[in-house]
Amino acid sequence: MGEFIRKLPVGIQGFEKLRTDNFLYVDKTEYIYKLAHNNVPYFLSRPRRFGKSLLLSAMKAYWEGKKELFKGLAIEELEKDNAEAWKRYPVFYLDFNGDNYLQTPIETVLDGMLSDWEAIYGEQYKDRTLGDRFQKVMELAAEKTGLRSVVLIDEYDKPLLDTINNPELQNHIKEVFKGFFSRLKKADESIQFIFITGVTKFHKVSIFSDLNQLKDISMDKEYAALCGITDSEITNFFDRELQMLADCHGLSIDECLDAIKKQYDGYRFYPFSEGVYNPFSLLNAFFSKEFGSYWFETGTPTFLLSKIKESRFDVRKFTNRTIYADEATLKDYTGDTLDLIPLLYQTGYLTIADFDKRRRRYTLCFPNDEVKYGFVDSLLKYYVPKATSGNGLDIFTLDEYIESGQLDKIRDVLSGLFASITYTREDDPFEHYFQSVVYLLVILLGKYVDCERQIYDGRIDLCIQTEDYIYLFEFKRDDTAESALAQIDTKEYALPYIADGRKLYKIGVSFDSQSRKLVGWKVAEASDDPVE
C-alpha cells in the first residue's frame, strides 16, 4: 500500500519547494506560457485558498529562469524552440499575505520589501518616498541586468480587507498604495510583465486607475480553470488518491467522484464553463480521507454575516436562484458601499449558476455543499447565538428529536431558538427574522432529513420526512395555532401522503410579533383530532 502514498501539497504555496521536495503538482504551466507571451499587465480575482499564491510562485520561478523546476511540465515543451526563454529577469514579488494590517503599518511592510531589493540592485534611498524608491530600484535593476523587471503582486487587497471595519486606516492604506503603485505606470519602460492577484477589486486604488491597460482575466473564458482543479485533472493527477478515498468509505470510484463533486465542485468563473473544485478542500479531503469542510473552517466571514443581517437581506435567495447580477457588478467593488453581491461572489460564497445571454444577466448560487452548509450554519448562529452544541438548541439535537418523533422536544427547541434571537434595533421587523431563521433551520436539517419548504405561496410551509415520520408544519404570525392547523386540513396538504405507511403529524405553530416568541403549538395525527 505504501507505494500508492504520494506527497500532497496541502498548505504548500512555494513552487520551488513543491518541485524539489517531490510534491504532487497539477500542471498549470500552459497558462503561464500564454500569459507570459502576451506583454500586458494582468489582474486575477479568486477566492482565498484557491491557489493564487502557488500560481505566482510558479511565475516567479519561470521569470527567474529556473528551468530545472519545470522539467516534464507543459511549459518545458512549449519553450523548447524559444531562444529567448529561461532568462533570469529581476523579479519584484510583493506578497501581502501573513501580516495583520490592523497591527502592522503598511509602510513598514513596503519598506522591508524595498530594503531587500535595494540591497540586491543598488543604493538605499531611505530619504525618498516609498514610491520613489520603488521606481528607482526597478530602474537600477534594468541597468544592472540589462532586462526589464517582472512585478508580481500577491493578495494586494489583504491590507484593505483587514481594515474593512476601520475606514480611517483603510483610507490611509489606499493613500499609501496610491503613491506606491502609481510608479508602475511611470516605470513602464523598465517593466516586462505585471501580474496582480486579490480577492476583490477595490476602486480608488491606483493599481486600477493608473494601469489603464490592466487586463482583468477574472471572468475570462480562456483562464476560467487557471486556479482550481477540474474533473479531468482529478482523474489525470489524483487517480491513486481517489481510489484510496473511495476504499476508505466503501464507495465505488463513480460514487466517490459524485461525493467530492457535490462537496467541493461547482465554482464557475465564466458562463457555461467547466466547474472547478476548491483545491484547498480537495487536497485536504484526499490527505485526510474524509469529506470534511476544510475551506470554510479556515475563516469565518463575520463582516459578511453582519452585513447580511443588518441589511435585512432575504436569505431565501441563496437557494431559490433569484440572486442576479451583471458582469460589471461581479467584477467591480468600490470598497465603500460593501455591496453584498460582488462581495459574496468574489469571496467564493456564491458562484455563477446560469447566464441569460439576451439580458446579459448572471444568476448566482452556492457552489457546493461545503459552502452552503458552512455558510448557513454560521449565519444561523449570527441570528441565534445560542444555536450551538451544549445547550440543546443545536441542529443535531433538533434532528435527533425529529428522527425519534419527540414532538414536545421539537417544540421546546423551536421555542428556545426563537426566544434567543438577537435584534440590533427596536425597529427590526420580526417578519424578517422569522422567515430567515425558519429558512436557515430547514436548509441545515436538509443535510440530514428530507425537507421541502414553500412559504406564502399556497403550499405547506414545511414538510419534513424521515424513515418513520412525516411532519407537516404550518406557521402563523399573530394568529392562532388552531388556524394554522385548520389550514393544513382545508388545503388538504396531507393528501399526497394518504397511502404512506409512516406516521404523519400535522403541526400548527403560531408566533407573536410583539413578544417575538412561539406562543401556540397544536398537533394532530392524520385523521385524528388535534392534541396539545
Q: What does the H/E/C string look like for 207-265?
A: HHHHCCCCEECCCCHHHCCCCCECHHHHHHHCHHHHHHHHHHCCCCHHHHHHHHHHHHC
CATH code of the domain covering residue 429: 3.40.1350
pLDDT of 95 reads: 95
186 within domain boundaries = yes
3-state secondary structure of 370: helix
pLDDT of 186 reads: 84
Please identify, among 340, 370, 400, the residue that sits at the C-terminal boundary of a domain. 370
Please identify, among 243, 275, 296, the residue that sits at the C-terminal boundary of a domain. 296
DSSP conformation class of 276? B
114 within domain boundaries = yes
CATH code of the domain covering residue 182: 3.40.50
Q: Is 85 exposed, middle or buried (0-12, 13-18, 19+ CB in 10 A)?
A: middle
Q: Output the CA torsion 83→85→91→94 (10° steps).
A: 150
Residue 292 and residue 304 share a domain? no
pLDDT of 167 reads: 87
The strand pairing partners of 361, in sequence order, are 356
Residue 439 and residue 310 share a domain? no
pLDDT of 302 reads: 78
Residue 316 CA to residue 453 CA, distance in Å, equals 11
51 within domain boundaries = yes
pLDDT of 23 reads: 96
pTM: 0.88
Residue 379 CA to residue 372 CA, distance in Å, equals 10
Asked if residues 149 and 91 have their Cβ atoms less than 8 Å apart, the reply is: yes
Per-residue pLDDT of 306-318, as tens digits, reads 888 888 888 889 9
Residue 153 CA to residue 195 CA, distance in Å, equals 6
Task: Please give the biggest Cα pair distance in the chain.
Answer: 92
Residue 35 and residue 175 share a domain? yes
Residue 57 and residue 175 share a domain? yes
> What is the count of structural domains for the chain?
4
pLDDT of 272 reads: 87
Residue 441 and residue 340 share a domain? no
Residue 487 and residue 395 share a domain? yes
Residue 454 and residue 389 share a domain? yes
375 within domain boundaries = no
6 within domain boundaries = no
Residue 106 and residue 213 share a domain? yes
Residue 138 and residue 33 share a domain? yes
Residue 162 and residue 46 share a domain? yes
User: Would you say the C-alpha torsion 512, 473, 319, 378 has a positive or negative sign?
Assistant: positive
270 within domain boundaries = yes
Look up the domain containing 354 and give its range. Answer: 300-370
The ranges of the chain with pLDDT < 50 are 1-3, 455-457, 529-532
4 within domain boundaries = no
Residue 272 and residue 214 share a domain? no
Residue 9 CA to residue 229 CA, distance in Å, equals 13
Per-residue pLDDT of 407-452, as tens digits, reads 999 999 999 888 877 665 555 566 677 778 888 888 898 887 877 6
399 within domain boundaries = yes
CA-to-CA separations, 60 to 20, 23, 55, 92, 280, in angstroms, rounded = 15, 18, 9, 9, 21
Residue 162 and residue 81 share a domain? yes
Please identify, among 258, 276, 296, the residue that sits at the C-terminal boundary of a domain. 296
